[in-house]
Amino acid sequence: MAKKAKRRGRPPGAKSPAKMEVGQLRQHIDGLEKLLRKKVGEQQAYFQQKLSELSRFASKKTKALRAVATGKGRKGKRAKAAPKYRSRKDSSVTWSGRGMTPVWMREEMKGTKLKKNDFLIK
């Protein structure tokens, strides 16, 4: 036996607003206004919370920007990186390990079993 499809729309016995009496219609409108006030209050509370979170975040960022602008942030340049790798053929050629692998290292590794770790400065 096939299941009976669920009925959509108003529940049985409910009248359409066009067929309601004035008192029933007034109660219906009051109920809707009350529901609307409740929903608006919930939305206001939610957005107030988000706004306070956002203002706290913004104040943290402003403090950091002020520190940089007034010179209280980091001063000077970063120190040059210390060399980590040295050429086996020419000991004066070094590399800090930052950026692309240098040409001299690629050429020395080409055709041999040498790896990057073999050039480490000990």
Number of folded domains that form the chain: 2
Instruction: Quick: pLDDT tens for 82-111.
Output: 999 999 999 999 999 999 999 999 999 998
Are 58 and 29 in a shared domain? yes
Going by pLDDT thresholds of 50, 70 and 90, the confidence category of residue 2 is low
Task: Kindly state whether residues 65 and 40 are assigned to the same domain.
Answer: yes
C-alpha torsion angle, residues 114, 116, 121, 122 (rounded to 10): -70
pLDDT band at 35; cut points 50, 70, 90? very high
Q: Is residue 3 assigned to a domain?
A: no
Give domain status of residue 1, yes or no: no
Is residue 85 within 8 A of residue 109, CB to CB? The reply is no
The DSSP code for 95 is: E
The DSSP-derived string for 2-25 is PPPPPPPSSPTTPPPGGG--HHHH
Query: Could you tell me the pTM of the whole model?
Result: 0.39
Lowest mean pLDDT among 15-19, 21-25, 40-44, 114-118: 15-19
Residue 72: what pLDDT?
64
E strand or H helix that includes residue 39 = helix 22-69
